[in-house]
Amino acid sequence: MSSQSFRKKTRTVLTNMDFKFIQSENKNNKNNKNNKNNKNNKNNKNVTYLNSSNNCKACNHDCSFDIETKREIPLEKHHVTYFPQRIAFVHVRCHFAIHHKGLRPDLIEYTEGESRKFYNLEKKLSKEHGWNIAA
């Protein structure tokens, strides 16, 4: 007997309409990301992005894709330095590996306490100007 007969068979069948939906969603998401990045770059002139929001800086792979929801999983922003701000887009798992497993130590160029200083300053500025920031 082959080992394949004991393997649990999980298969997702995608139709042509599913592929069309996925392609249109990807186009819309990329257009929206480009517009958001352009707006963010105008507002935050001192922010430098090290890569595009489509490829992970840590593993050089594209965005992940969730087959069940038929949507792309966006990459997270990872601060390489806080002063000045240099940001790299990475997968959630790569972000965890950078901070907790020592993957790509070249993507951490800040000293201990800089992140706390940065977020305290951001919180203070948001209170002064009435900005709504995500914590």
CA 8 to chain centre: 32
Number of domains in the chain: 1
Structural domain of 31: 14-129
Relative to beta strand 71-73, strand 76-81 is unpaired
Q: How confident is the model over 69-88, as pLDDT tens digits?
A: 888 889 999 999 999 999 99
94-134: per-residue pLDDT in tens? Answer: 999 999 998 889 999 998 899 899 999 988 888 887 776 65
**44 Cβ contact list (under 8 Å, min separation 6):** 85
- pLDDT tens digits along 19-75: 556 656 666 555 555 555 544 444 556 899 999 988 999 999 888 888 888 888 899
> Is 4 within a domain?
no
Q: What pLDDT does residue 1 have?
A: 47
Whether residue 113 is contained in a domain is answered as: yes
- Give a yes or no: residue 54 inside a domain: yes
pTM of the predicted model as reported, rounded to 2 decimal places: 0.62
